[in-house]
Each structure stands twice: as structure tokens, then as C-alpha cells.
Copies of this chain bind each other. A is one copy, B any other.
Amino acid sequence: MTVIRSLSHPHPTLRRTDHLSPVRSFEPGGTIFREADPAHYLFEVVTGTLRLTRLLETGRRQVVAFAHAGDVIGFPAAGRHHSDCEALTEVTLLTHRGAVLADPAANPDLHHRLQSAALAEIASLQDHLLLMARKGACGKLASFLLVLADRHGCRSGDRFILDLAMRRGDIADYLCMTVETVSRSLTRMRLDGLIRLQTAQKIVVLDRDGLKAMAGAE
């Protein structure tokens, strides 16, 4: 289960698929599904941001992915979800019966879209893997911010404005570091003139190339 990128039709009109794919909404903090739940449905994100987490044997928490509009989450393994999924913001989701995956004939179009989403999920997880493989904390965080900026940043002149839906702790658990290190890395970027923090959640990317350099630097 988890996240998929860039469907061919990221936002099918709600009306068109309404009878097949009911819309559901969740408040921030709401739980969409839990690890080991039977996976009857796939969910296509229409609006909002979600967090997919798994627990390690040690008790620590790993954020497997963040899901945004257009992503599909909930791909099963052995018929069950493999992570917890919670809403970080208000979210609206389209629900698709998981059976669509197993039965291509019933709805070929949707089947193909969901399958593409599964392949995109594989690519996304590999990217996450590469992100975590970086050595330095600043490099990881810089790469993370760049990905967010490309996918969800609002351009404003030569700057990008990011509105983070997740808390520092979520970022830390996503990149496998501590909140303190996330915070320190951000302040370093700030002192280097790469970003500005309007609020804790609102980040302005001042120097995209500088961030790239920090990401690329070993």
C-alpha cells in the first residue's frame, strides 16, 4: 500500500465516478486504515495530505510515504494493508473496490489506471530509498524539500513557497533522523540564505540552486 504518483487522469470528475467510487472525507488526525486491516478498498487522494507509517520492532516509527492529490494508496499485500494511514489535513478520497485490480474485465479503464498507480508506487518507494541512503542530514532534507517544491510548491517569482502539512517529527521519521536534527538542518539552510521560515510550516525557498548544491554535496 502506499503512494502513487501522476495518474493519467489525476482527478476524474467526482460526478463521473460517483456511483462507482463514493467520496469519503476525513478530519486531520483521522485514520483511513491500519496495518493488517483487510484491504477491501484502494483510495485515490482528491485533496489533502496523508501519512503512511509502519512500526519497527524496536517501537520506533517509520513514515513510509506522504500521499497528496492524485496519489493512490492502499495497495494490499496478501490481502491486507501493510501500514497505518492517517490524515494530516482535511482530506477527501475516492474509494475504489480492491477487486478492480483482480478483475480487469469489469472496468478496464480503472483497472489500467490503478495498475499504473502501482508501478508509480514502486518508483516512488525507490526514490524514498535513495533519499534515505544519503549521508548527511542536510542533504536528505534539502532533497526532500526540493521534491516537495517541484510537486507542490507555489511559484512566486523565482521563489517557491511550501506549506508543509507534516510536523517536524513526521519529517524526521520519514528521513530517519531526529526532530532536533531536522530543526538544526533547517536553521543551517536559513543561515545560509537558502530558505526562510515564515512560520514553522511555511517555508520559502530563496535559492533553489543552493538547495540543489546542498543536496548533491556528499
Interface on A for B, CB 8 Å cutoff? 1-2, 54, 56-60, 62, 64, 75-78, 82-83, 101-102, 104-105, 108, 111-112, 115, 118-123, 125-126, 128-130, 132-135, 139, 176, 215-218
Contacts and interface: CB of A to CB of B under 8 A. Distances in A.
Given A56-B133, A216-B58, A82 B118 contact: no
Contacts of A120: 77
A122 B155 CA distance: 33
Given A104-B111, A215-B57, A129 B130 contact: no
A64 B112 contact: no
Of A59, A130, A215, chain B has the most CB atoms within 10 Å of the CB of A130
Contact of A75 (B59, B60, B122, B133): B122
21 contacts: A56-B130, A58-B216, A58-B218, A60-B133, A60-B135, A62-B130, A62-B133, A75-B119, A77-B120, A82-B123, A101-B115, A104-B105, A104-B111, A115-B115, A118-B119, A121-B122, A122-B122, A129-B129, A129-B132, A132-B176, A133-B176
